[in-house]
């Protein structure tokens, strides 16, 4: 269901709008990513990509991946930042919140590392807006039976955000 301005937004558009808001906290120079973990129409945890707590941010010292010329979708381990999905899962764990059976809404498609984390955490559904060049990620999710959906109605998410500000 999309948002037409007269009705409430569908849950996917609503949670993706919340992920967009979470992404504004990102300290990544290359890409701002936000994530929202939800179950039974309730938000359980949020996350955004950035350096681990207590460490220097890429916005302050520069991007290691950029300095080394590493293209998007490759060598995920060479990065100061933790991905939005990782931070959302750790936020849930730190508060003792089970995410088994949850859905996750992400501004960008999860990489293979995050996909493995989501599979093992019991996540059942991923909804994202922007594709990411990582074929292994898609293969792993398909093998594990993890539903992955691209949300193509970005205008619905924008309307949710615009209406929230009016």
Residues marked as catalytic: 85
CA–CA gap between residue 163 and residue 166 (Å, rounded): 5
* DSSP β-bridge partners for residue 130: 108
What tokens appear for 115 in the block? 């996909």
| E strand or H helix at 108 | strand 103-108
Question: What's the maximum distance between 2 C-alpha atoms anywhere in the chain?
Answer: 49
Instruction: Sheet with 42-48: list strands edge to edge.
Output: 42-48, 34-39, 103-108, 125-130, 147-150
| Beta carbons within 8 Å of 150's beta carbon, 6+ residues apart | 109, 127, 128, 129, 131
71 secondary structure, DSSP code: P
């Amino acid at each position: 269901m999309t948002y037409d301005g007269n009705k409430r937004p569908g849950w996917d558009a609503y949670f993706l709008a919340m992920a967009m808001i979470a992404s504004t906290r990102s300290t990544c120079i290359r890409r701002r990513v936000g994530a929202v973990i939800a179950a039974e129409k309730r938000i359980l945890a949020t996350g955004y990509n950035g350096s681990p707590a207590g460490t220097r941010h890429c916005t302050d010292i520069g991007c290691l991946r950029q300095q080394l010329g590493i293209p998007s979708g490759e060598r995920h381990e060479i990065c100061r930042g933790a991905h939005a999905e990782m931070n959302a899962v750790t936020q849930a764990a730190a508060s003792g919140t089970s995410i088994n059976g949850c859905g996750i809404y992400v501004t960008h498609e999860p990489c293979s590392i995050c996909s493995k984390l989501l599979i093992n955490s019991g996540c059942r559904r991923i909804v994202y807006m922007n594709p990411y060049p990582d074929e292994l990620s898609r293969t792993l999710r398909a093998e594990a039976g993890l539903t992955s959906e691209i949300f193509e109605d970005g205008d619905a998410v924008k309307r949710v955000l615009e209406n929230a500000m009016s």
